[in-house]
Amino acid sequence: MLDATTLNPAQERGATVELSMQAALNLALAETLDEDPKALIFGEDVGRLGGVFRVTDGLQERFGATRVFDTPLAESGILGMSVGLAMAGFHPIPEVQFDGFAYPAVNQIICQIGRMNYRSRGTLPMPITLRVPSFGGIRAPEHHGESLEAMFAHVPGLKVVSPSDPQQAYHLLKYAAQRPDPVIFMEPKSRYWQKAQVNLHDGGTPEGARVARPGRHLTLIAWGAMVSRCLQVAELAEEDGIDVEVLDLRWLKPIDAEGLAASVAKTRRAVVVHEGPRTSGLGAEVAALVTEECFNTLKAPVERVTGFDVPYPSGDLEDEYLPGIDRILFGIQRVLEHRRG
């Protein structure tokens, strides 16, 4: 496995290398620790074990147990400690082991991390980068697969981002770790082992959405693991002569309304795909933004292909719950067949 401990100096200076998302995140964390003496990494099993998904593998050995350390199994304590460390001038990078484990720390996230800068009139910023292994796709038991972006994005004071591939993971995590604001960094668990070429020197602009695949007839809007699925769908649609653009939203708070509008204004049709439940999911906010910005050019209402309004199921029902290729293709068909007024 290629990680931060195996890259040679030439690679570290900017070569393009093949990395898994797990290794890309590991490298981004190592470079952050190297460049920022106030950065601290902590959470359940992130030290000696290197994390359940080995994202922090080797970091404690390299940087010491005072900068990369294990905590008790107490998420409210992990995030409460993050608040105190941020107030003391440190840059905490905590991890909650699985997305469903974030629920016990909601009070700290919403009432303290999200509000402290506002409450203190800017005297107590919260430069906290909270890493959350997120979403489904690994057939995990209950509480080990959730889609919490709508909850986090609703909280004033928080920024929310989700990478879709190793290139995005490396550059977005480094960028997030440099922000003076609290960032919820949602890592798609099912993509940890995806490998791709990563340009360590040029990641493009880390802000806003990005066009993952250009197209003319329709825009598929997604984030996290669903971007890869939408790219698969786009390839299949191309066989039928449908040229689909795939927009990787990346930043879920703030949403890049300008980039969103630019893509949909070109294709004039949009389908939003996400894993979370449909009702009050983030796709509703995206659809509203598209309608506000592109109402006069839209040829059809914005379609949503989402999870269902049930608790996120355990692994044996995951395939029925997650937006699959057939459901997304059917969403595309409905939009293309719509005849406006």
For residue 315, what pLDDT band results from cuts at 50, 70 and 90? Answer: confident
**pLDDT at residue 11 tops 60:** no
pTM over 0.85: yes
Q: What mean pLDDT comes out for the span 297-307?
A: 96
Residue tagged 């290139």 (tokens):
167
Active-site residue, selected from the candidate residues 144, 171, 217, 274: 144
CB within 8 A of 87, min separation 6: which ones? 116, 124
Q: 9-199 maps to which CATH number?
A: 3.40.50.970
**Per residue in 224-278, pLDDT tens?**
999 999 999 999 999 999 999 999 999 999 999 999 999 999 999 999 999 999 9
Measure Cα distances from 48 to 59, 68, 131, 192, 253 in Å.
Answer: 9, 9, 18, 20, 33
**Per residue in 147-163, pLDDT tens?**
999 999 999 999 999 99
pLDDT mean across residues, the chain: 93
Q: Is 144 among the catalytic positions?
A: yes
CATH 3.20.20.370 correct for 210-337: no
**pLDDT at residue 335 tops 60:** yes
Residues 152, 153, 158: CA angle, nearest 5 degrees: 75
Q: Could you give phi then psi for residue 281, rounded to 5 degrees?
A: -70, 170
Fold match between domain 9-199 and domain 210-337: yes
For residue 9, what pLDDT band results from cuts at 50, 70 and 90? Answer: very low
What tokens appear for 311 in the block?
Answer: 């608790």
What is the residue extent of each domain of the chain?
9-199, 210-337
CB within 8 A of 141, min separation 6: which ones? 314, 315
Q: What is the pLDDT of residue 140?
A: 84
